[in-house]
C-alpha cells in the first residue's frame, strides 16, 4: 500500500515537495517576508501556467512534450510588440496582442506539425533544434523589422529593437492587478489566476470533445486509432496547432505579468522549462493531465521563488539559477531514461 | 551403429506457469543424419529449440525436466553461448546478418581472426588488429563447402534472399567445432530452385558428419531430406518414423489429428444455412508482412460462423486485416452486394463490420486507458455515441460507465472496476474488453482473429461460448481466424483453409484429420487429383 | 550528378562561404591565417564525435562533459602553476581520469535511453553545466580550498569569470611555426605567408591516423557491428552495452584533449562559457562536412571544420556589408549552427521513417 502510494506520487515529486517544504521552513526561521514570497509564488505560477498547459496537447497526441514551443512563443512576441507599435494601452493592447498571437501561433504550429509528422520518433531532438533555429532567425527579424515605436527601438543609433521592452503603462501586470486583493500580507493576483482557470476549463472541455478524445487515442496507440478509422497525422497536426497557439497566448500573459517583453535569445530555453515543469508534476513523455501541469508549474516556480532569498541569507551567493538548470534538466533526463512501453525505440 | 548418438533428448518436459507445453519427448539423431521435426504452430517445436539452446526464457521460467546428451556426454546447456561452445549451430528464421558488413565480416562476426598489435599487449584482445586475409580465406573455405560461389567481400546488403540463407549456413559451418545444426524453416523464404540447392547443401553437410535438425512445413521436402521424422502435436511426441515407412498424407494426419468428440462440435450442417451471402470477396490481396494474401476468393454466408485456418505465415491472418483497412489491400469486396472501399478503416466500420484484432496489445487496446474508455473509444469516433447532447458535445462519463458496467457483467470481465487500466488485466480479460468494444458498434458481421491466443483454458471456453451465443441469439455473422484447428472445428459451421496466400479449400468440421492436414500442408489437391476444384 | 547529390551539403556551404568571403572584403592573408588557426584548434573536437556516430549512438552532444573535464584539468595546472609545454601535456594527462569518469557515466545513461541518445546527450550537457557551475561557483573556495585568492571572486567563493592561461598559451601552436615563402606556382602561391602551427597539425594528423587504425582492430569492428544492429551483435555474443560505453569514453577523452588544444590557443578560459557551445558547434561542423547521424568520416570532419569556421570568419563582416549590420552576421552564423543540426536531424528521421515503410 505504501509502495503504491509512493509510485503514484512519484519519487521526483516527493523529493521536490520535501525540499520546498524545507525551504519554506528555512525562510520562516530566517524571518523573511513570507507575504511577499507567497505573492511571488502565486504570480510566477499564473505567469507560467499556460506555457506549461501548452505541453498537454502534443504529449496526449503522442508527439511528446512540445520542444518546438518557441514556434508559438515568437508569434506571441510579434503580437505583443505590434500592440505597442500601434500605441495601444490597457486591455485593448492585451486583447489585441492575444488576438494577433493566437492565429499566428496556429499557423506556426501547423507548419511545425507538418515537420513533426515526418520525423516521428525523433520529435524531441528535431523540435529542440528547430526551436533554437527559429529563435535565431527571429533575432535577425528583431534587428531588421521596421518597428518605429520609441519605446521599443534603441534610443540612439543601434539596430532594431531593444533586448527588453518595458511594458510600464501599456499592459504591465494588467491581469495581475485585476480584482487583486491582499490577505495577511499575501497579494492575490486574482485576474491572472482567473485567466489561468479559464484556460484550464477550456482545455479540459476541448480534450473531452470527440476531437480531443481522438487526439488522445492517437497518442495512446496509433494502431488502435487507425483501426478505429482515425487519421493519425491529422490529429498530431492539430495538437501541434493547439499547442503553439497556447504557447503564443501564454507568452503574452507571461510578459504582461513580468512587465517586460524579452526578445532575441530569451525564448531559447523556455520550452525546456515548460517541459520540466510538467514532468515535475508527474506527467510522462506519453501522458499528461491538466492537474499534473498545474502541480508541476506550482512546485517548480515556488521552488525557484523561495530559493533565491533563502540562499542569499544562508550562503550569500546566487544559487537559484543554478538550481533551476539542475532541476529542470535533471527531471527531463529522469523522464528520458525511464523504461516506457512503446516508446520511440530505434 | 557404433557409439552413442550425436544428440539424444531424453524425456524432455517443460511447463510455463503450470501449463505443460512439452510432455516427455525422447528422440535421437546420429552423426551425419537429418532429423525433421514437424507439427502445427504451437506444437512445441520452438520451445524444444529454446531448450536445446539454453535460451534465457527457459531458465527464467523454472528450467525443464529431462536430459540432453551430446555424443554420449550429458550436456547441461544454460546459455546460448554454451550451446555454441558445444558445437550447436542455428540458422534463424529471420536473418541475423549485418547489411553493411561484407560476407566475410558477417561469417566471422565476433569470431574475427586477430594479430597482435603494440597496444594489445597492454589492453588485450580489443586492441588486436583484424587479420583480414586469414578471415577471407576462412570464409571462402566454408562458402566453397556449401557451393556458394560469389565473392566473399561483397556487402550483404543487396544479396538475394537465397544467398543470405547460405551465408548464414556458411557462418555456422565456419564454427570449427560444429556438430549439430538447426535449420528453422529455412525454405520458407526461398524459391523452389533455391530450396533444392539448400537440400543439396544439407547433403554435403551431413556428408561431413554434421547432424541436422530440420524444421519445415513443406512435407515433400521433409520426405526428401530426412533420415528420421518426429511428429509433434500439443507438446506430445506423436510418432517417430522414417520416410521409407510412411507417406505424406499419413504425416499430415498425425500432425493435425486431435481427439475431438463430435458432440463438442456445434457447427450446423450445410443444409441449415442458405446460400445467401453477406460478404463476397474476390481476388483479395493484402500486403501484410509475414501474412501476405495473394488473391483470395471467399464467400461468407449470412448467419454462419466461418472459420479461417492454415499454418502461420500462409496469409490467413491477412484476410480480416485487409478487409478492415489495417494493411494495404487490393481486390473487390462486396457486402450485401455493395462494394466496400478498401484501405479505409472508416468505410469498413461504417458498413457495420467490426474487428477483434489478433494483435491484442498492439492494435486492440489502449493499454494505459481505462476499461470503460477502451470499450467506447471507437463508438465515440465512428458513431458519435457517448457524447453529451448540445452544441459543444463532450464525453458523457455517466453513459460510458453505465455501459461498461453492463459489459463487465455480461462478459464476466474480472477487474477492480470500469476505471481499471487495461494493462493490468489478464490476457483473457483483455480479450473480453476487445470483444465488448466490437459488440457495442452493433455490427452484423464480426471478424475475430486468434481470439484465444495466450489465454487460459477457462477464459477460452467462455469466449468461444459467447461468440456462439452472439451468433445464435443475435444472428451475428462471425468470421473467426485461428491457428488452433480444434477450436475452429468446435464452433465453426465451415472452415476455409489458406495456403500460400490463397484459398486452398473449404472443409466441414466433421471432415477427416487427414484432409485438414493435407490441406494445411498444401498437398490436398495432389492427392485428390482432379476431383477437387 | 550522383556525386553532386551526395555532397550537396558541403557544396552549398562552399558556395555560401565564397559569397561571404567576397562581400566581407577580407584579405586572403588574414582569412587564411585565421582559418588555419581555427582549423588547428577546433578539428580535434569535431573528430571526437566520429566514434559514437559509427557505434550507432548518433551525434554525441555529451562531449560538453569532455570539455568540462579538460577545463578541470586546466584549472589544476593554473592553481599549481604548471607552465609551458609540460604544463599543457600534464593537463592532458590530468584530464583523462575526469573524462573517463564522465564518459562512463554518460555511457550508462545512454544505455538507459537507447534510441534517444541525442536528446539525452543534449539535456545531459545542460544538466552537467548546472553541476559544473555548482562546483565552480559555489564549492570552489567553500568546500574546495584554493590558496591563490586572485583566482577567486571578491567574496572568496567561486572562480572569477576569466582565468588566464598564459602559462601554457601556444604551448604547442608556437612550438614550431612554419611559413611558406616565395612560392610562385599559380595555385599554391596562395599558401604563402600562412603560419602553420606544425606540432598542433602533427598531433591532429596523429589523431586522425589513430582513429583510422582503431577501425582496423577488433574493438573497431565491434563498434561498427553494434552501430549497425544492436540485436544481431548481441546474438553474436558481443557485449553491446559495454562496447557502447567504451565508445562514449573514447569520445569524451578526445573531447577533453580537444578542449585543451582549443584553450592553449585562446590563452584564457571563460570559466562559465568556454564549454557551453562546444557540442553544438562541433556537431554543426561535422554535419556541414557532409556527415549524417549514422555515417561520418575523418575527411568530413576536417572539411566541415574548415567550412564552418570559414563561415564564422566571414559572416559578421559580410553581414555588415550586405545588410548594414554586423549583428545580423553574428545571428546568421548562430542560425546556421542550429539550422544545420535541425535540418540534418529532421532529414535523418524522415529517411528512416520512409525506409521503414
pLDDT grade, residue A9 (50/70/90)? low
- Smallest Cβ distance to A159: which of C127, C325, C342? C325
**Residue A251 pLDDT > 90, yes or no?**
yes
Residue C60 within any structural domain of the chain: yes
Give tens-digit pLDDT for B330-383. 999 999 889 989 898 899 999 999 999 988 888 889 988 889 999 999 999 888
Cα angle for residues A142, A146, A148 (degrees, 5° grid): 105
Q: What part of B 420-439 touches A (C-beta under 8 Å)? A: 423
Percentages helix, strand, coil for chain A (3-state, rounded to 5) are 70, 5, 25
pLDDT score of A4? 61
Residue of A59, A201, A221 to mutate, testing the B interface (most B Cβ within 10 Å of its Cβ): A221
Angle, CA B119 vertex, CA B115 and CA B123 arms, to 5°: 100
Contacts of C357 in chain B (CB under 8 A): none
pLDDT class for A1, splitting at 50, 70, 90? Answer: very low
Please determine, for residue B533, whether its predicted confidence score (pLDDT) is greater than 50.
Answer: no
Please determine, for residue B530, whether its predicted confidence score (pLDDT) is greater than 50.
no
Using 50, 70 and 90 to split pLDDT, how confident is the model at B129?
confident
Quick one: pLDDT at residue B160? 82
Chain B interface includes C356 (CB < 8 A): no
In terms of pLDDT, which residue wins out, A173 or B139? B139
Q: Could you tell me if residue C217 is inside a domain?
A: yes
Confidence check: pLDDT of C232 > 90: no
For chain B, the average pLDDT equals: 85
- In a domain, residue C17? The reply is no
Q: Which residue of B378, B386, B392, B399 is the best one to mutate when testing the A interface, meaning the one whose CB has the most A CBs within 10 A?
A: B378
All cell numbers assigned to C131: 553541476
Residue B450 corresponds to which cell in the numbers above?
486468434
Q: Give me the percent of chain C exceeding a pLDDT of 70.
A: 97
Mean pLDDT for the stretch of residues B77-97: 83
Q: Which of C217, C225, C237 sits opposite B98 (nearest CB)?
A: C225
**Order of strands across the sheet with B494-499?**
B353-356, B445-449, B477-481, B305-309, B494-499, B502-507
| A174-211 pLDDT, tens digit each | 888 888 888 888 888 888 999 999 999 999 999 999 99
> With an 8 Å Cβ cutoff, is B366 touching chain A?
yes
Nearest chain B CA: its distance from A207 CA (Å): 8
| pLDDT value at C194 more than 90 | no
Which of B110, B114, B120 faces C238 most closely, judged by CB atoms? Answer: B110
CA atoms within 13 A of residue C144's CA, in its CB half-sphere: 15
Percentage of residues of chain B with pLDDT beyond 70: 96
More reliable by pLDDT, A283 or A111? A111
Please state the ipTM of this predicted complex: 0.85
Domains of chain B with bracketed CATH:
264-352+443-531 (3.40.50.300)
Out of B61-70, C186-195, C251-260, the most confident range is C251-260
Cβ contacts of C113 on chain A, cutoff 8 Å: 336-337
Nearest CA in chain B to A229: B346
Q: How many domains does chain C have?
A: 1
Paired sense of beta strands B477-481 and B305-309, if any:
parallel
| Domain-located, residue C80 | yes
C-alpha cell at C188: 599554391
Q: Across the interface, do B126 and C219 touch by the CB < 8 Å criterion? A: yes
B112: nearest CB among C218, C229, C246 = C218
Residue C208 placed within a domain = yes
Chain segment C310-340, per-residue pLDDT in tens: 988 888 888 788 877 777 878 888 888 888 8
pTM above 0.80, yes or no: yes
pLDDT-derived band at C86 (thresholds 50, 70, 90) equals confident
B267 contact partners, CB below 8 Å, separation of at least 6: B305, B489, B491, B492, B493, B494, B508, B509, B510
As beta bridge partners, residue B430 has none
Q: Given this model, what pLDDT does residue C108 score?
A: 94
C238 in B contact zone (CB under 8 Å): yes
Query: Is the pLDDT score of A56 beyond 90?
Result: yes
Question: Which chains touch B (3+ CB pairs under 8 A)?
Answer: A, C
Predicted confidence at residue C97, as pLDDT, reads 95
Is residue C18, in this structure, part of any structural domain at all? no
Beta-carbon separation of C218 and B109 below 8 A: no
Distance from CA of A246 to the nearest CA of C (A): 23
**Surface-to-core class of residue A29, CB atoms within 10 Å of its CB (0-12 exposed, 13-18 middle, 19+ buried):** exposed
In a domain, residue C251? The reply is: yes
Shortest distance, CA A102 to any CA of chain B (angstroms): 21
- pLDDT interval class at C179 (50, 70, 90): confident
The pLDDT score that the predictor gives to residue B532 is: 42
pLDDT at position B297 is: 92
Query: What confidence score (pLDDT) does residue A345 get?
Result: 29
pLDDT at site C257: 93
Q: Do A210 and B381 touch (CB under 8 A)?
A: yes
Q: Does B105 contact chain C (CB < 8 Å)?
A: yes
Report, as an integer, the average pLDDT of B112-141. 83
Binary contact (B130, C217; C-beta < 8 A): yes
User: What mean pLDDT do residues B187-208 have?
Assistant: 82
**Scanning the structure block, which residue is given the C-alpha cell 538507459?**
C112
Which positions 316-355 of B are in contact with A (Cβ < 8 Å)? 324-326, 344-350, 355
Task: Report how far residue B198's alpha carbon sits from residue C20's, in angstroms, rounded to the nearest whole number.
Answer: 63
Per-residue 3-state assignment (H helix, E strand, C coil) for B259-291: CCCHHHCCCCCHHHCCCCEEEEEEEEEECCCCC
What's the pLDDT band for B531 if we cut at 50, 70, 90? very low
Q: Domain containing C82: what range?
A: 35-275
- In DSSP notation, A162-208 reads -SEEE-TTTTTTHHHHTT-EEETTEEE-HHHHHHHHHHHHHHHHHHH
B376 touches chain A (CB under 8 A): no
Inter-axis angle of helices A270-280 and A34-53, nearest 10: 100
pLDDT of B356? 92
Higher pLDDT, B529 or A285: A285
Q: Which of A210, A224, A230 sits opposite B365 (nearest CB)?
A: A224
Q: Which of B349, B364, B377 comes nearest A217 by C-beta? A: B377
Size of interface A-C (CB pairs under 8 A): 134
Any idea which residue has 492494435 for its cell?
B363
Helices and strands, counts by H and E, chain C: 14, 4
pLDDT-wise least confident of B277-291, B439-453, C32-46, C187-201: C187-201
Q: How far is CA C85 from CA A38, A49, C82, C207, C289, in A?
A: 56, 55, 9, 19, 32
Residue range B221-237: average pLDDT?
Answer: 87
Distance CA C72, CA A335 (A): 29
Binary contact (A210, B393; C-beta < 8 A): yes
Residues of C in contact with A330 (CB under 8 A): 127, 130
Domain assignment present for C256: yes
The answer on pLDDT for B99 being more than 50 is: yes
* A207: nearest CA partner in chain B: B394
The confidence score (pLDDT) of residue C313 equals 87
Tell if the CB–CB gap between A224 and B377 is shorter than 8 Å: yes
Q: Which domains does chain A have, with CATH numbers?
A: 13-335 (1.10.3470)
Amino acid at each position: 500500500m505504501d509502495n503504491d502510494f509512493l509510485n503514484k506520487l512519484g519519487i521526483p515529486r516527493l523529493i521536490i515537495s520535501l525540499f520546498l517544504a524545507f525551504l519554506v521552513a528555512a525562510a520562516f526561521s530566517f524571518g523573511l517576508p513570507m507575504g511577499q514570497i507567497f505573492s511571488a509564488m502565486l504570480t510566477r505560477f499564473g505567469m507560467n501556467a499556460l506555457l506549461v498547459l501548452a505541453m498537454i496537447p502534443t504529449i496526449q497526441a503522442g508527439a511528446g512534450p512540445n520542444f518546438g514551443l518557441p514556434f508559438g512563443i515568437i508569434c506571441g512576441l510579434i503580437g505583443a510588440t505590434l500592440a505597442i507599435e500601434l500605441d495601444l494601452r490597457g486591455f485593448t493592447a492585451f486583447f489585441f496582442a492575444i488576438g494577433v498571437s493566437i492565429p499566428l501561433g496556429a499557423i506556426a504550429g501547423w507548419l511545425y506539425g507538418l515537420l513533426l509528422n515526418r520525423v516521428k520518433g525523433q520529435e524531441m531532438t528535431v523540435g529542440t533544434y528547430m526551436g533554437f533555429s527559429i529563435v535565431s532567425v527571429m533575432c535577425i527579424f528583431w534587428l531588421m523589422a521596421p518597428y518605429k515605436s520609441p519605446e521599443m527601438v534603441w534610443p540612439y543609433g543601434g539596430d532594431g529593437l531593444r533586448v527588453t521592452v518595458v511594458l510600464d503603462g501599456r499592459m504591465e501586470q494588467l491581469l495581475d492587478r485585476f480584482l487583486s486583493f491582499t490577505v495577511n500580507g499575501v497579494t492575490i493576483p486574482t485576474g491572472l489566476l482567473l485567466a489561468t482557470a479559464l484556460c484550464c476549463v477550456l482545455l479540459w472541455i476541448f480534450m473531452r470533445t470527440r476531437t480531443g478524445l481522438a487526439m488522445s487515442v492517437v497518442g495512446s496507440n496509433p494502431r488502435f486509432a487507425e483501426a478505429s478509422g482515425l487519421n493519425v497525422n491529422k490529429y498530431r497536426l492539430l495538437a501541434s496547432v493547439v499547442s503553439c497557439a497556447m504557447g503564443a497566448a501564454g507568452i503574452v500573459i507571461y510578459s504582461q505579468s513580468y512587465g517586460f517583453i524579452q526578445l532575441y535569445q530569451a525564448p531559447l530555453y523556455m520550452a525546456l522549462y515548460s517541459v520540466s515543469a510538467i514532468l515535475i508534476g508527474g506527467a510522462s513523455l506519453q501522458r499528461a493531465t491538466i492537474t499534473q501541469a498545474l502541480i508541476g508549474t506550482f512546485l517548480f516556480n515556488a521552488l525557484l521563488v523561495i530559493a533565491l532569498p533563502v540562499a542569499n541569507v544562508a550562503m550569500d551567493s546566487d544559487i537559484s539559477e543554478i538550481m533551476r538548470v539542475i532541476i529542470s534538466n535533471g527531471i527531463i533526463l529522469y523522464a528520458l531514461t525511464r523504461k516506457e512501453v512503446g516508446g520511440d525505440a530505434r | 551403429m557404433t557409439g552413442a548418438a550425436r544428440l539424444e533428448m531424453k524425456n524432455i518436459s517443460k511447463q510455463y506457469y503450470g501449463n505443460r507445453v512439452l510432455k516427455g519427448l525422447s528422440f535421437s539423431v546420429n552423426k551425419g543424419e537429418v532429423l525433421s521435426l514437424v507439427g502445427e504452430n504451437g506444437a512445441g517445436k520452438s520451445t524444444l529449440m529454446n531448450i536445446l539452446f539454453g535460451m534465457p526464457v527457459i531458465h527464467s521460467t523454472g528450467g525443464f525436466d529431462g536430459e540432453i546428451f551430446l555424443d554420449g556426454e550429458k550436456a547441461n546447456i544454460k546459455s546460448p553461448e554454451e550451446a555454441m561452445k558445444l558445437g550447436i549451430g542455428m540458422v534463424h528464421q529471420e536473418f541475423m546478418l549485418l547489411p553493411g558488413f561484407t560476407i566475410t565480416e558477417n561469417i566471422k562476426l565476433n569470431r574475427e581472426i586477430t594479430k597482435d598489435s603494440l597496444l594489445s599487449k597492454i589492453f588485450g584482445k580489443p586492441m588486436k588488429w583484424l587479420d583480414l586475409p586469414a578471415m577471407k580465406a576462412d570464409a571462402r573455405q566454408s562458402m566453397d563447402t556449401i557451393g556458394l560461389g560469389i565473392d566473399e567481400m561483397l556487402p550483404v546488403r543487396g544479396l538475394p534472399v537465397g544467398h543470405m540463407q547460405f551465408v548464414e549456413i556458411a557462418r555456422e559451418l565456419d564454427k570449427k567445432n560444429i556438430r549439430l545444426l538447426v535449420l528453422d524453416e529455412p525454405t520458407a523464404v526461398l524459391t523452389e530452385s533455391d530450396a533444392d540447392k539448400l537440400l543439396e547443401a544439407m547433403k554435403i553437410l551431413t556428408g561431413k558428419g554434421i547432424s541436422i535438425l530440420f524444421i519445415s512445413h513443406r512435407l515433400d521436402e521433409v520426405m526428401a531430406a530426412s533420415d528420421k521424422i518426429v511428429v509433434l502435436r500439443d507438446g506430445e511426441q506423436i510418432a517417430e518414423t522414417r520416410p521409407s515407412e510412411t507417406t505424406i498424407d499419413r504425416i499430415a494426419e498425425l500432425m493435425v489429428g486431435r481427439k475431438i468428440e463430435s458432440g463438442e462440435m456445434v457447427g450446423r450442417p450445410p443444409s441449415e444455412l442458405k446460400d445467401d451471402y453477406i460478404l463476397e470477396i474476390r481476388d483479395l490481396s493484402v500486403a501484410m508482412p509475414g501474412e501476405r494474401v495473394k488473391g483470395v476468393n471467399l464467400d461468407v454466408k449470412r448467419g454462419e460462423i466461418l472459420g479461417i485456418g492454415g499454418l502461420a505465415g500462409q496469409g490467413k491472418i491477412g484476410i480480416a486485416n485487409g478487409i478492415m483497412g489495417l494493411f494495404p489491400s487490393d481486390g473487390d469486396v462486396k457486402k450485401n452486394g455493395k462494394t466496400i472501399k478498401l484501405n479505409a478503416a472508416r468505410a469498413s466500420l461504417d458498413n457495420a463490420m467490426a474487428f477483434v484484432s489478433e494483435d491484442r496489445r498492439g492494435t486492440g487496446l489502449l493499454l494505459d486507458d481505462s476499461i470503460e474508455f477502451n470499450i467506447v473509444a471507437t463508438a465515440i469516433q465512428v458513431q458519435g455515441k457517448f457524447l453529451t447532447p448540445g452544441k459543444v458535445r463532450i464525453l458523457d462519463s455517466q453513459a460510458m460507465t453505465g455501459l461498461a458496467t453492463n459489459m463487465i457483467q455480461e462478459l464476466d470481465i474480472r477487474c477492480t472496476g470500469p476505471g481499471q487500466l487495461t494493462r493490468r488485466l489478464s490476457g483473457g480479460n483483455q480479450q473480453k474488453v476487445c470483444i465488448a468494444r466490437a459488440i457495442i458498434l452493433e455490427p452484423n458481421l464480426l471478424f475475430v482473429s486468434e481470439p484465444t491466443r495466450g489465454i487460459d483454458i477457462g477464459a477460452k471456453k467462455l469466449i468461444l461460448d459467447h461468440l456462439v451465443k452472439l451468433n445464435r441469439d443475435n444472428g451475428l455473422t462471425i468470421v473467426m481466424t485461428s491457428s488452433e484447428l480444434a477450436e475452429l472445428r468446435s464452433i465453426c459451421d465451415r472452415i476455409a483453409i489458406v495456403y500460400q496466400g490463397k484459398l486452398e479449400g473449404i472443409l466441414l468440421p466433421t471432415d477427416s484429420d487427414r484432409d485438414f492436414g493435407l490441406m494445411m500442408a498444401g498437398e490436398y489437391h495432389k492427392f485428390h487429383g482432379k476431383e477437387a476444384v | 550528378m550522383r556525386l553532386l547529390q551526395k555532397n550537396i551539403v558541403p557544396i552549398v556551404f562552399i558556395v555560401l562561404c565564397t559569397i561571404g568571403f567576397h562581400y566581407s572584403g577580407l584579405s586572403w592573408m588574414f582569412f587564411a591565417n585565421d582559418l588555419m588557426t581555427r582549423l588547428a584548434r577546433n578539428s580535434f573536437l569535431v573528430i571526437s564525435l566520429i566514434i559514437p556516430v559509427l557505434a550507432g549512438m548518433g551525434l554525441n552532444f555529451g562531449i560538453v562533459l569532455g570539455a568540462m573535464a579538460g577545463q578541470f584539468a586546466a584549472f589544476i595546472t593554473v592553481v599549481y602553476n604548471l607552465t609551458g609545454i609540460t604544463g599543457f601535456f600534464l593537463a592532458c594527462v590530468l584530464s583523462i581520469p575526469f573524462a573517463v569518469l564522465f564518459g562512463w557515466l554518460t555511457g550508462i545513461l545512454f544505455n538507459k535511453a537507447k534510441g534517444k541518445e541525442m536528446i539525452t546527450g543534449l539535456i545531459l550537457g545542460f544538466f552537467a553545466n548546472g553541476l559544473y557551475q555548482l562546483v565552480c561557483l559555489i564549492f570552489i573556495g567553500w568546500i574546495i580550498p584554493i590558496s591563490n585568492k586572485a583566482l577567486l571572486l571578491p567574496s572568496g567563493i567561486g572562480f572569477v569569470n576569466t582565468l588566464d592561461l598564459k602559462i601554457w598559451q601556444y604551448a604547442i601552436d608556437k612550438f614550431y611555426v612554419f611559413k611558406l615563402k616565395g612560392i610562385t606556382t599559380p595555385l599554391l602561391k596562395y599558401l604563402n605567408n600562412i603560419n602553420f602551427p606544425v606540432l598542433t597539425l602533427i598531433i591532429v594528423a596523429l589523431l586522425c591516423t589513430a582513429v583510422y587504425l582503431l577501425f582496423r582492430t577488433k574493438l573497431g569492428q565491434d563498434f561498427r557491428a553494434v552501430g549497425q544492429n544492436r540485436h544481431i551483435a548481441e546474438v553474436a555474443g558481443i557485449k553491446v552495452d559495454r562496447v557502447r560505453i567504451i565508445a562514449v569514453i573514447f569520445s569524451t577523452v578526445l573531447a577533453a584533449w580537444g578542449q585543451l588544444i582549443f584553450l592553449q590557443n585562446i590563452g584564457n578560459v571563460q570559466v562559465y562559457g568556454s564549454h557551453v557551445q562546444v557540442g553544438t558547434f562541433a556537431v554543426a561542423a561535422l554535419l556541414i562536412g557532409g556527415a549524417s547521424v549514422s555515417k561520418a568520416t575523418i575527411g568530413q570532419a576536417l572539411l566541415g571544420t574548415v567550412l564552418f569556421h570559414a563561415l564564422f570568419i566571414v559572416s559578421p563582416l559580410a553581414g555588415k556589408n550586405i545588410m548594414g549590420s554586423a549583428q545580423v552576421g553574428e545571428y546568421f552564423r548562430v542560425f546556421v549552427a542550429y539550422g544545420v543540426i535541425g535540418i540534418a536531424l529532421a532529414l535523418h528521421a524522415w529517411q528512416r521513417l520512409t525506409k521503414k515503410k
